[in-house]
Structure 1
Amino acid sequence: MSDSASAARDRRVIAVIDGNSLMHRAFHAVPPTMNAPDGSPTNAVFGFLNMFLKMVDEFSPDGVVCAFDKGHPKVRMEMLPQYKAQRPPMDPNLRAQFPMIKELLASLSVPVVELEGWEGDDILGTLARRGEAAGCDMYLVTGDRDMYQLVTDHVHVVSTRKGLSDIAIMTPESVDDLYHGITPELVPDFYGLKGDSSDNIPGVPGIGPKKASALIVQYGSLDEVIAHADEVKGKMGESLRAHIDDALVSRKIATIMTDAPVECDLDEVSFPAYDAASVSAALGALGIMAMQNRFLALLGDAAASQAAVSKLELPEVLRVSLDASRAFDEAESNRESAEMNACFDELMRALEAGEWLGVAMEDDKEADALFGMTRRLWVATDRALLSFEEPIGPCGVFATDIDCSHGVIPGVLGLLFAKGSVVSSDVKALLHVLSPVDSSEPELMDPLDADPARLFDTVVAAYLLDSVRSDFADAHLAETYLHAALPAAAGEDGAPADAPSAAARSAWLARILREPLAAALEAQGAEDIFTKIEMPLVRVLASMERAGMYVDPARLAAQSEELSGQIAELSDRIRELAGGEEFNLSSPMQLSRVLFDKLGLPTAGLKKTQRGYYSTNAKVLEDLAKDYEIVRLILEYRERTKIKSTYLDTLGALRETDGRVHTTYNQTITATGRLSSSNPNLQNIPTRSELGHAVKKAFSVEEGSVFVAIDYSQIELRLLAHLSGDEHLVGAFNEGEDFHAETAARVFGVPVEEVTPQLRSRAKAVNFGIVYGQQAYGLSQALDIPMAEAREMIDAYFRAYPGVRTYLDETVAFAKQTGYAETMYGRRRPIPELRVPAQRMFGERTAMNHPMQGSAADIIKIAMVRVAERLRTEGFAAKMILQVHDELDFECPVGEVDALVAMVREEMEGVAQLRVPLIADASVGETWAEAK
């Protein structure tokens, strides 16, 4: 309805929402991937609000009321005890969202009406008749079709159908058309005959909607149908005559009551009547800021604009700007000199006051430029934004108390890390300003000198609060934790001429984000993980990234050349098997044509791509490789070309001037809590393959040193034993037996001494499969055995270790109830897939695995921090250079090997006191390959 139409109407429009109906529809229509900052599901709330806004846009109501069921429907249950008895319990993730929507409605000043023992339908019916009598046009928003009985010229049912976008506005004429002659007042009669399975209303067996409407149209009403029951022939007549009482009770149950004792004065209901700030706060608390502007727009431009920027006004900017030819005490103007002094004075004031300081770096690189000419450090205090600008490279020395002998930015940053409390969206990047990644550049500060208690990384904090999210941009954090939109930065659409840079905004945002993020961490029980694991680890990772790994370019070249020869031989043989045809082996389309069209390989069960050819992905080829030599060779070709292009031909170019490759460790990528590695990804080199071994030969160490690798033995299985408490599993580890052989003996029912290598291999597959929630199909594929045999192996495993079955079942039940799984240390992983039928099995496997895999990630992170501290305090020359899942790698002088191994094993094995021992195995070699 347009604004002009709304202004011209002479009757008030009141919308009454069936809260239960709309919440149920929203819950099932919106994918369950939405969560509040505390991890609570919000998909139903989001869908409800979406429909709410659609309704407001459509009808421009003068007032809105929302009704909810409360308690059991007492009156109807007295008439029909089985009323709604067949309905399953409400999904706990939906139930959890009802208090949320009621609080949001309160913030929107929308009255919530609920009466003990009454259904929301009866509240809608009562308000509909009351509003109609008062001269209002009433719009009832519901998905229940029995509400059509309330429809008149001034009472309309807004019927939600599929999802939330498909709605119909029911009038007396549309009800008549829908039910083929059934007018609104005859709807209860119609339900009396046909019943309603969703509410367990019996009706008359054998009479469906078509027969019910035909009978009522023929005789005029249910009473007349009953009066002429003897005229109804066949089985339908017999059923009707046998169930007259059921029909009458069903009609009574289906009749909406319009006399509920509702205390709601429609004359006082008004919309919109809410406060912009309270709505923004309520939406932000649930992380649903996408709708903020739509709600604020309903209040008018002025109110919306004021609310959007009320908390996000940037403070005054003070600058220190230098060029390469000018020192601080040789400023060209008194004004410039005064501003510089004011900037340094404000910095010292904030440090002395103990403020948390927001910090961000920027340079003036153009999108297509390799180097910028200047860089800036932005520091946000409680009072101002401080800008420290200098050329990239050497600059002048300053007359200040700050050591700026290496430049103003390193000087200020050094002071901040030494004496201040730093909050930033990338603390590690700031540490690298003082401890450059390239170890040939001078290090101005050891990252481990930074006090983790005075570091706060906003992105790491946000990741801990929602680990399945992939984007933690400033805009998202502002909307989620400050409940407001970011002001535009320079260069962004709508930015004013004096808009700050994105880096300036980031520094200021980081400072004001710290408090709400810290509160959210505490509320979710993640404070210890943040302060005791992740923030101490930031410094360790910065140190490891600087250390890097030495790569021998000559070995890389030799291995690349060797692999080139193997690839050429494979290519020739594949084309020979293809009948001598020349085709591009790297083209999926050409390969598909050769394999399936020319050679006629079986295509049963295969799907075609959107471009119309059969897929040649890895799974397809692996299944075919068992029977066809050409497919086996294609897989070998793919593996070798990938290794060559990904590693052998690129690692050399990634070496810094120190001759080392410096990977980047990512703390906020994986949902499990594990670290990931990029540029290059050193964690993804094939572990056990011959090719992966060849790549690792190129990673060496300085002369006089060796490569030391120390990794946890079977840590996830040991965690399964600890967490499940299964006495047999715990005993197998504590007795020091061959764990996989022990499992084989118990699963296959043979003495341990009679366990063959094949049985042990199968038991090993089951052991690790159980950790990852593997089912019979996955095990059958892994072992190439029939499904029935795989299922029996899993059943036998759980008979052997019954405590494991109980533990896994309880873990899945916990995840279904809460929406997340958690580690020993309280690290949560949201599992929205549990609420999607098609993804539920994946969700269950995730729930089973996260406590083990996530706890293993926590444990090795704690070990890394402890090992790094001891390397420094005990004066080791050895350096920790790599972490790969459960493995720590070191570059160690030959004379320190024994001491290093003893120290690292002590720390790794002593991280946690479990029911079973943690075991760390060490190996040594001149290269990474020899050490592993």
Structure 2
Amino acid sequence: MANLFLFDGTGLVYRAFYAIDQSLKTSTGKHTNAVYGIAKMLIKFFKEHININKDACAFVLDSKGGSQKRKELLIEYKANRPETPKLIIEQLPYIEEFVESFGLRVLKLMGYEADDIIATLAKKFYDDFEQINIITGDKDLLQLVDDKIFVWRIERGITDLVLYDKSKVYEKYGIYPYQFADYLSLVGDQIDNIPGVKGIGKKTATSLLKKYGSLDNVIKNKKLLTNKLQKLLENSKENLTLSRELVELIYDVPLNLKAEDLIYKGYNQKKLLQVLKNFEFSSIIKELNLQEEFEKEYIVVDNLKKLEKLQDEIKKMKVFSIDTETTSLEPYSAKLVGISVATKEGKAYYIPVSHVNGKNFEKKYVLKFLKEILESGEFNIVGQNLKFDYKIFKLFGIDPHPPYFDTMVAAYLLNPDERKYNLEELSLKFLGYKMISFDELVDGSVPLFGNDFSFVPIEKAAEYSCEDADITFRLFHILSKHISEVKDLFYNIEMPLINVLAQMELNGVYFDLDYLKILSEKYEQRMRRLEEKIYEISGERFNINSSKQVAEVLFNKLKLPSIKKTSTGRDSTNAEVLEELAKEYEIAQLLLEHRKYQKLKSTYIDSIPNSVNDITKRVHSSFHQTGTATGRLSSSEPNLQNLPTRTEEGREIRKAVKPQFEDWYIVGADYSQIELRILAHMSGDEKLLEAFKNNYDIHTITAANIFNISELMVTEDMRRIGKMVNFAIIYGISPYGLSKRIGLNVNETKKIIDSYFKYYNGVFDFIKQTVEFAKKNGFVKTLFGRKRYIPQLRSKNVRQEGERIAINTPIQGTAADIIKIAMINIHNELLRRKLKTKMILQVHDELVFEVPKEELEIVKEIIVDKMENSVKLKVPLKVDLYEGKEWE
């Protein structure tokens, strides 16, 4: 016999909405977190519990306006409930669309609540099913539980269900399900405005029902109760009757349904896939193994006639997507194996160049073809992660025209908080199409040596590579429709930057390895001396790298005061704890010093030599456009942006960066106080504008005003505090956070911040308006239209963090956009003048170059001009320039 499953849709929607990150949305801006939560709930539950074509199901929702009968009884019924969040209301039609596409019947009826429809269905079909299961997050439906009816309650997350039978209800609440309505009548419900009996709480209600069995029996035996309880019941006689009517479920909702109408017959794959594509739920498409089917024509180019045909199509279409296949992801050691080009959706060509087996096309003809189409500027070049392909082309002497469209970067700009922008993910998300993975391509049938693509048979390689180009072309058509809001940022900054980054990565950075070796030995000696001092103070030798042993020595043996406990209950020895202890105890300071040298040595000094390329003798880091939500570039393999700058040790490490050739110099250019200048521009604060226009010392001015003294009396220490305050404001730091930085108490730092905002009142207004905008709209923008969504603002626990992000992002993101513009302009000018100078590093507000002596003066002029004039603000941009035989 079949089972009936009734889903309390309204309760589940609320559960999903608050459990899933509310910033989840599609590239077109549809919020989908509740839809996603419902989808995950249903999929898991159906996999584990539902028999297709046997069990019956319904997804039940409240109607707009709620229960007419209860509102007639009490006009204030549920009036205390907070207004339904707009983001839930927005998603309700999407949820219905998903549920119906999943094959599940949606039920709602004007004037009735979901609970009443569920109660009616349970009664109506009681004899038609072996079991009736109700899935809800609410406790009110527990009153239905009996030998045949069970409630599955979601009590944690969105898929963690607890099954309630009669014994479980009693275990949890101390009463039986049939007593639940009586219990609710006695205790009432403040949120739903159910009055109950004033003065009777949960414990008293439970004990009364345990003793007398029912509310009717309690009233019949009222004289046996204490005087106080008698009085409470007497005073609430009308409220008790009303409460009972309000909490009792309705069992006669007019539903014209038969049991067989609810039999679950599964979902239509095509319909469900379309809905999931609309919501961009790539993970669910993958989980359900849904697959879009495309018509496609993939052609292997193995003669000149086919190559000429491809060339003609490109000239006709004026747009194409391109993808390279290589033997390695490291450009200098990579061998070009093949190239795929798509000229329209479903049509792509593969040009084999150096496969081990099969007929390859002669490389010189392929390179000539590539040079013509990539350098001409007549065609729109499309690709996915084109920076890699561009590096390969450049190493073959081809200097591609800046790309027209990179699908990876476009997807990032539309949703910078996503974690994955790889082609396979985007294909599932936007097309519902599962691509051939590399593992599936080889699958033990190809004798690959070290995953060498050249050993893949040409026909299989063509299918795989043409698919990449084809899917990229399809994504281009979808994503190009969505980027209108950020099109200037995309086309004028991010696309030209690809060429710049490709060249900068190929240029690489030269490190003096002999110097690093000496520095490593020097740090090793410093660490040993520190270890001996630590052992001397502690009176024993122990493993300094073991937090457990360090805690044992500090807190058990030396009896240092406990500052903070770890999750296991042990005393913490993290940096924050050691910094606090270091104010009084030398051993804590020595441990901090030891950790500092150890980290610098392992992270940079000893690891950088392992990243040196055997061919170029340089380090080729990767710079990513899609790595941060603010728009800043990030760096990896190795991360050269994190080389420390402000400490003596950091400067020692930076000295290892030198020119590779004699008579070359390192030239560095750093934007001076760019974020403060952007703050002046965006806030329009008159005092900030005046200071920067007249080239005043902004840190001295700030110090003078927060300490209420003349600028002439400002000491170096006061100026240091003024500087910290200026930058702390940009990062939305709290008085507590500032107190930790400058060593004053919280009351003092609060006064300092208040003084700052009193003087720079335009900044105060700007910050206030920015946070208000972010709270209302859920995002902030840079000067160039880059968006960042801030879900933290919707959570009480991390709202302060959200406000800090809202304050900082427009400023930091604008600074990131400005330096990108400068990089593009400098790169283009160096090309135009055919100079040898290499741009080798970008570190946030700083650019680093390797410059031959004869170009030194002209290159410095170019750098300053292009950086200071990259954008026109209300205040001038200033650049600090330095040069030398090392980066320091």
TM-score range, shorter chain: 0.7 to 0.9
**What letter corresponds to residue 462 of structure 1 in structure 2?**
A
- Paired residue for 2:706? 747
1:278 aligned onto 2:271: yes
1:23 to 7, 10, 13: 13
Q: Which amino acid aligns with 2:49?
A: E
TM-score normalised by the chain length of structure 1: 0.82
Q: Deviations over 1:39-90 (max 9, x none)?
A: 6554432322232234434243334243134136554345334433333344
Greater mean alpha carbon deviation, residues 532-541 or residues 673-682: 673-682
* Number of the residue aligned with 1:444: 397
Separation in structure 1 between the aligned mates of residue 434 and residue 360 of structure 2, nearest angstrom: 40
Q: Which SS does the other structure have where 1:526 is aligned? A: helix
- Mapped to 1, the partners of 2:445 and 2:618 lie a distance apart of 45
Query: Which residue is 1:52 aligned to?
Result: 42
- How many residues are matched? 864
> Structure 2 CA distance, aligned partners of 1:630 and 1:39?
54
> Offset of 1:198 from its aligned partner?
3.7
Is residue 675 from structure 1 mapped to residue 633 from structure 2 by the alignment?
yes
1-structure distance, mates of 2:186, 2:408:
60
2:232 to 239, 251, 261: 239
User: Does 1:257 find its partner at 2:274?
Assistant: no
CA contact (8 A) 1:226 1:244 kept: no
Secondary structure at the counterpart of residue 51 of structure 1: helix
2:354 matches 1:354? no
How many angstroms does 1:277 deviate by? 1.6
Counterpart of 2:433, as a letter, is: A
- Residue number in structure 1 paired with 2:61: 67
Match of 1:688? 646
Indicate if the aligned counterparts of 1:734 and 1:916 stay in contact, CA closer than 8 A. yes
Q: Deviations over 1:5-32 (max 9, x none)?
A: xxx54xxx55443222001122334455
- The one-letter code of the counterpart of 1:533 is I
Question: Which of 78, 86, 89 lines up with 1:84 in the alignment?
Answer: 78
- d(CA) in 2 for partners of 1:533 and 1:317? 35
C-alpha spacing 1:572/1:63, structure 2 compared with 1 (3 Å): closer
550-559 or 875-884: bigger deviation: 550-559
> What amino acid does structure 2 have at the position aligned with 1:926?
K
* Cα distance between partner residues in 2 of 1:492 and 1:852: 46
CA distance in 1, matches of 2:768, 2:255: 45
The question of 1:546 aligning with 2:528 is answered: no
1:388 matched to 2:352: yes
Return 5+ residue gaps in structure 1 as ranges: 1-7, 297-306, 321-339, 399-403, 437-442
8 Å contact kept, 2:786–2:813: yes
Kept in 1: contact 2:489–2:786 (CA 8 A): yes
- Name the SS for the 1:290 alignment partner: helix
CA distance in 2, matches of 1:595, 1:160: 46
Cα separation, 2, equivalents of 1:921 and 1:365? 39
In structure 2, distance between residues paired with 1:575 and 1:151: 67
How many angstroms does 1:432 deviate by? 1.6
Matching residue of 1:328: none
Q: Quick one: structure 1 residues 227 and 111, their matched pair in 2 at CA, closer, same or farther if it must change by over 3 Å?
A: same
String of CA shifts for 1:128-166, please: whole Å, max 9, x gaps: 455559889754432333234455777654443343344
Amino acid paired to 2:323: A
**Is the partner of 1:699 in helix, strand or coil?**
coil
> Structure 1 residue aligned with 2:821, among 843, 852, 862?
862
Taking a change above 3 Å as real, the CA distance of residues 771 and 178 of structure 1, as seen in their structure-2 partners, is closer
Cα drift, residue 183 of structure 1 = 5.3
Q: Is contact 1:20–1:69 with CA below 8 Å preserved after alignment?
A: no
Q: Distance in 2 between matches of 1:903 and 1:372?
A: 34
Q: Is the 8 A contact 2:665 2:853 kept in 1?
A: yes
Query: What CA distance in whole angstroms lies between the structure 2 residues aligned with 1:833 and 1:885?
Result: 25
Is the deviation greater in 589-598 or in 909-918?
589-598
Residue in structure 2 matched with residue 308 of structure 1 by the alignment: 291
Q: 1:617 to 1:116 in 2, by over 3 A?
A: same
1:631 paired to 2:584: no
Does the 8 Å CA contact 2:4/2:129 hold for their aligned counterparts? no
AA of the residue aligned to 1:693? R
Alignment counterpart, residue 658 of structure 2, candidates 669, 688, 700: 700
More off after superposition, 168-177 vs 204-213: 168-177
| 1:361 maps to amino acid | T
The answer as to 2:342 corresponding to 1:377 is no
The alignment-based identity, stated in percent, is 34
Show the counterpart of 1:828: 787
Deviates more, 1:675-684 or 1:138-147: 138-147
Tell me the equivalent position of 1:291.
284
Tell whether 2:671 aligns with 1:712.
yes
- For residues 75-119 of structure 1, give each alpha carbon's deviation from its aligned partner in whole angstroms, at most 9, with x where no partner exists: 434533443333334445545433431231243354444455543
Greater CA drift, 563-572 or 692-701: 563-572
Could you tell me whether the CA contact under 8 Å between 1:182 and 1:216 is conserved in 2? no
Partner of 1:205: 198
Instruction: Point out the more displaced range, 203-212 or 213-222.
Output: 213-222
State the one-letter code of the partner of 1:619.
Answer: E
CA RMSD of aligned residues (A): 3.9
Distance 2:168 2:600 in 1: 66
Unmatched runs of 5 consecutive residues or more in structure 2: 447-455
> Deviation of residue 415 (structure 1)?
3.9
- Distance between the aligned counterparts of 1:128 and 1:548, measured in 2? 70
Q: Secondary structure of the residue that 1:308 maps to in structure 2?
A: coil
**Distance in 1, Cα, partners of 2:679 & 2:827:** 28
Q: Following the alignment from structure 2 to structure 1, what is the Cα–Cα distance between the partners of residues 445 and 28?
A: 35
Tell me the residue number matched to 1:607: 565
Corresponding position of 2:493: 533
SS in 1 for 2:291: helix
Matches of 1:476 and 1:131, distance apart in 2: 44
- Please report how far the alpha carbon of residue 884 of structure 1 lies from its aligned counterpart in structure 2 after TM superposition: 1.0
- Is residue 482 of structure 2 the alignment partner of residue 523 of structure 1? yes
8 Å contact from structure 1 (residues 64, 111) kept in 2: yes
For 2:337, the aligned partner's letter is: R
> Taking structure 1 as reference, are residues 909 and 207 closer, same or farther at Cα in structure 2, changes over 3 Å only?
same
Aligned pair partner of 2:873 in 881, 897, 914: 914
CA distance in 2, matches of 1:768, 1:777: 15
* Offset, 1:609: 7.5
Give the AA of the match of 2:716: P
Matches within 5 A, 1:207-606: 207-215=200-208, 221-222=214-215, 225-226=218-219, 229-260=222-253, 268-272=261-265, 274-292=267-285, 308-311=291-294, 315-318=297-300, 320=302, 340-341=303-304, 343-354=306-317, 356-364=319-327, 375-381=337-343, 382-390=346-354, 398=362, 404-405=363-364, 410-418=367-375, 421-436=380-395, 444-446=397-399, 449-453=400-404, 456-491=405-440, 505=464, 507-516=466-475, 519-520=478-479, 522-523=481-482, 525-579=485-539, 581-598=540-557, 600=558, 602-606=560-564
Distance in 2 (alpha carbons) for counterparts of 1:657 and 1:159: 63
1:526 Cα deviation from its structure 2 partner: 3.1
More divergent stretch after superposition (378-387 vs 43-52)? 378-387
- Tell me the residue number matched to 1:147: 141
